[in-house]
Structure 1
Amino acid sequence: MQRDLGSYDYVQRVYNENMRLAAYKLPQTAADGDVIFIDDGLIKLTMQIADGRVLKITIVTTNPRSSVYMQVFEGFEFGFNAVSTWIQNYEETTSTHGPSRGIVKGMLADYNTTADNVLTVSLTRVSGKAPA
């Protein structure tokens, strides 16, 4: 069984329902492959999609404390109803400039902040079953 975060339709719907910034909303449809949705110098948002299912979401930001980054990440966090320990992982990685990982509802948030303060966080499913 392929572990995924849900169909693209589901992921974009729950994210967009929680995203207030129009420029950061996801399109209604997306092709399979490694898709770059946003790359504006502050946020790079990519998804790995296969057979219409989102396997991985990656967010890279040059300013981990920006309200835009917070809203983009929270679009997924609140959309997946996964508000929990990920904030601790975020605080750990941004203060130590190293890796931190946390699992909520079978979804792994894998964080790493470089010495240059560039944060990368990837979301993948490690257990359980994704919604349709």
Structure 2
Amino acid sequence: MTRKIIHSDHAPKAIGPYSQAVRCGNTVYLSGQTPIDPATGKLVEGSIEVQTTRIFENLKAVVSAAGGSFEQIARVGIYLTDLANFAEVNKVMASYFSEPYPARSTIGVSQLPLGSQVEIDAILVLDQA
């Protein structure tokens, strides 16, 4: 199966040897996004809600570059350095998705790249071409 690299200039550039997303058939695997402002390349400051919103906007840019929408996201993975932020992240996620919601996991981790408090990845399933 051929892999197609997906890239958006409206999302942060990769900070390592990986792509923003890779399409295999009709499935798009989105790399984890941290709350990096694509215009500055720096982490946004502010509450966990502000940071999570930046991440979902970054993901939205990559999903759009893949030709999809959030309604086609099948799975979301959330990584938090403090699980006490779970409710706030849920609130932001609920503003981007509606029922039926994607599958999801939320995992507590000790650290994330660049000192981020939250990272989110996703799997998008596009309609048959």
Q: TM-score range by the shorter chain?
A: 0.3 to 0.5
**TM-score, normalising length: structure 1:** 0.37
**TM-score, normalising length: structure 2:** 0.37
Higher strand share: 1
